[in-house]
Structure 1
Amino acid sequence: MLEMLNRWYQRRFSDPHAVSLVAILLGGFLTIYFFGHLIAPLLVAIVLAYLLEWPVVQLTRLGLPRTLSVMGVLLIFAGLMVMAVFGLVPTIWHQVGNLLADVPNMFNGLQEYVLSLPERYPDFVQPHQVGTFMDGLRVKVLGMGESAVKGSLASLVSLATLAVYLILVPLLVFFLLKDKEEMLATLSGLLPRNRRLASKVGLEMNEQISNYIRGKVTEIFIVGIVSYITFEVMDLRYAVLLGVLVGFSVLIPYIGAAAVTLPVAMVGLFQWGISPDFWWLLVAYGIIQALDGNVLVPILFSEAVNLHPVAIIVAVLVFGGLWGFWGVFFAIPLATLVKAVWNALRATEPQESPDVTL
């Protein structure tokens, strides 16, 4: 057993560049795992810097100094964010209030429908089963109400955190974009000298993460806007709120779309009941999800879709469990990183020459 492990170690880590690659990855993993909550503003700033690097580069190619390009892009981005917040947040807040006010009516309608099931289907549904189901559902609804109250109290603390983010993140983004080359040179000086494989993987992942962040933001906007227009045309209540939920659901591959289906279906069922309008809503929502998964995602993430769906779901579960939101957001790039590292380590194995018999 020990001899087998020794042979495996010699095959995988006989190259010092492979050892450096594993050491760098292990150091990054431990840093984010133990200190991720402390450097969260930096992580947000890095994501935004990746997003805004492309327009900065385009302006510098037109002849503008990088500092002026960074300032111009940040001002435009901040203006768009302010417009979105003041134009969208009040509407969403109003619709959330209306939805919470309608929850008791939704519960009463569901209760009346469930209580009528023993009369409609006496051979399949018994009255005691309905009573047990409604008691359990009532407990869950009350629990959700208590959680909402606790969440509203916790949001007061979140406001202080948001104020810190509003100050720190723009400053960090500005310096990350402005002094990009100097920071990369400093980081390069801290890394091991034997880092040929790490540099190869790093260059590949830098391009993929940049494309992934831009593609994911584009996907959120396209899916959210198309969903809102569809819901508005069908005169569905809470169209803005549901459109935003559907847009942000693409952050979690596969799982997000399935989770958002429930509120969309519940609102449609409460508004129209089991009617043609309700079924048309489900068909339209299904078409949006199908076009997103089979047309938009392959266009935006041509390399990422080479990953098997099972690998993507496992990456969401594993990295989401380790790093929460950031693990979910970067699940696809991290899965691609694992694949790239595996291929790089395999490339360092000595090739055994086949036995030749005369």
Structure 2
Amino acid sequence: MIKVFRNWVHRYFSDEEAVVLAVLLALGFAIIISFGDSIAPLLTGVVLAYLLQGMVTRLKKWGVHQAIAVWLVFLLFLSALAALFGIVVPLVWRQVINLFNELPRMLVEWQAQLAHLPDQYPALVSSGQIDRIVASINGELGQFGQWLLSQSLAGLPMLLTILVYLVLVPILVFFFLMDSDKIIAWLVGRLPRERRLMNEVWTEMNQQIGNYIRGKAVEILIVGAVSYVCFAVLGLNYAALLAVMVGFSVLVPYIGATIATIPIALIGLFQWGLGNEFMVLMIVYAVIQALDGNVLVPVLFSEAVNLHPVAIIAAVLIFGGLWGFWGIFFAIPLATLFKAVLNAWPGAQGENQGRELQPGEVVAEAP
């Protein structure tokens, strides 16, 4: 047994670069797990900088000076941020308040409709089953009400956190854009001189993460905007709130669309009943999801590494449980990172097929 373990260690960890990469990965994950909440503004700034760096690069290719390109993109970012908090957030917040005000009346009507089911389908549903369902719903709503009250009491710290984000994140984004070359050079200078393995992994992941962040942001905007237009044209109540929910549901592959279907169906059912309007709503929503999965995603993520659906779901569950929102957002890139490391690891396929670095070559710069 000891000999088998020794052979396994010799095969996969005889390369010093592999040991250094394993230590760096373990250290990075340990820092995020331990200090994830504290460095969340920093992570937000990095994500937004990745999102905007492509525009800066495009302007520089057109002959615009670095500083001017950064300022133009940064002012565009501030304008979008102002529109978000000046138009979208107040609209969604008003609809959230209206929904909570309407919720008691909606629950009474749903319970009344459930009470008629034993008369309509006596062979399938009994009055006792309906009573248990209603009691279970009321219990869950009571717990939700207690949670909502606790959240409202903790509103001041949350408001302070939002204010901190609004101040720190734009500053971080600006300096990440303006000094990206200096920051990368400083980080590269702290790495070992021999870094062929790290170069292979970084070259693949740098492109993948940049494409993923920009593609996912565009997907959220397109799906959310199209959903809002369709819901508003159909006259669905709480169109903005539901559209935001549908837009962010794309962060969780396979699961998000299913979860977003429930509130859309319930609100449509309460507003129209099982009529033609409800059927049209569900058909339109199904078409949006079909176009997103079969047209938009292949176009936006055509260069992404293919991952099995089971691997994607497992990554969402694992990293989402560890880091919450950011774990869900980066689940696919992190799964791709593990795949890239396994593919490039010495001994993973009998021998390392990695490309030898040329003299003076360093880790690739961020896009």
Short-chain TM bin: over 0.9
Q: How does 1:219-298 map to 2 (within 5 A)?
A: 219-298=219-298
Question: Match for residue 217 of structure 2?
Answer: 217
1:123 maps to which residue? 123
TM-score, length-scaled by structure 2:
0.92
Write out the 4+ residue segments of structure 1 that deviate beyond 4 Å after TM superposition: 346-352
Q: 1:127 to 1:10 in 2, by over 3 A?
A: same
Instruction: Report the Cα distance in structure 2 between the residues aligned to 1:145 and 1:351, rounded to whole angstroms.
Output: 59
Distance 2:348 2:147 in 1: 52
Equivalent AA in structure 2 for residue 54 of structure 1:
G
Task: Tell me the CA shift for residue 159 of structure 1.
Answer: 0.9
Q: Judge conservation of contact 2:15–2:346 (CA < 8 Å) in 1.
A: no
Unaligned runs of 5+ in 1: 353-358
| CA distance in 2 between partners of 1:62 and 1:130 (Å) | 67
Per-residue deviation at 1:84?
2.7
**The residue matched to 2:241 in structure 1 has which SS?**
helix
Instruction: Kindly state the Cα deviation for residue 103 of structure 1 after the two structures are TM-superposed.
Output: 0.8
Contact kept, 8 Å, 1:312 with 1:335, in 2: the verdict is yes
Gap change, CA 1:175 and 1:351, over 3 Å in 2: closer
Q: Distance in 2 between matches of 1:117 and 1:228?
A: 33
User: Could you tell me how far 1:115 is from its partner in structure 2?
Assistant: 1.2
1:100 corresponds to: 100
Which residue identity does 2:289 align to in structure 1? Q
Corresponding residue of 1:356? none
Structure 1 residues 108 and 57, CA gap change in structure 2 (3 angstroms): same
Which residue number in structure 2 is paired with residue 182 of structure 1?
182
CA deviation map 1:261-316 (0-9, x unaligned)? 11100110000111121122111111111111111111111243611111100000
Cα shift at 1:351: 4.6
User: 1:253, 1:312 within 8 Å by CA — same for their partners in 2?
Assistant: yes
1:324 counterpart residue number: 324
The code of the aligned residue for 1:315 comes to A
CA distance in 2, matches of 1:54, 1:139: 50
The residue type equivalent to 2:9 in the other structure is Y
**Contact residue 304 and residue 333 of structure 1 kept, 8 A:** no
* Alignment of 1:311 onto 2:273: no
1:170 match: 170
Aligned to 2:113: 113
Query: What residue is the counterpart of 1:16 in the other structure?
Result: 16
Is 1:140 the counterpart of 2:129? The answer is no
Greater relative contact order: 1 or 2 (C-alpha under 8 angstroms, separation 6 or more)? 2
SS of 2:173's partner is helix
Partners of 1:289 and 1:305 in 2: CA distance = 22
Q: Percent sequence identity over matched residues?
A: 51
Taking structure 1 as the reference length, the TM-score comes to 0.94
Paired residue for 1:355?
Answer: none
Q: What root-mean-square deviation, in Å, do the aligned CA atoms of Structure 1 and Structure 2 show?
A: 1.6
Aligned residues, how many?
352
Could you say what secondary structure the match of 1:304 adopts?
coil
Work out the CA distance in 2 between the residues paired with 1:211 and 1:347. Answer: 29
Distance of 2:349 and 2:316 partners within structure 1: 30
- The answer as to 2:203 corresponding to 1:194 is no
Give, as a single letter, the amino acid of the residue that structure 1 aligns with 2:281. L
Q: Which amino acid letter does the alignment assign opposite residue 142 of structure 1?
A: G
Preserved contact between residue 246 and residue 257 of structure 1 (Cα < 8 Å): yes
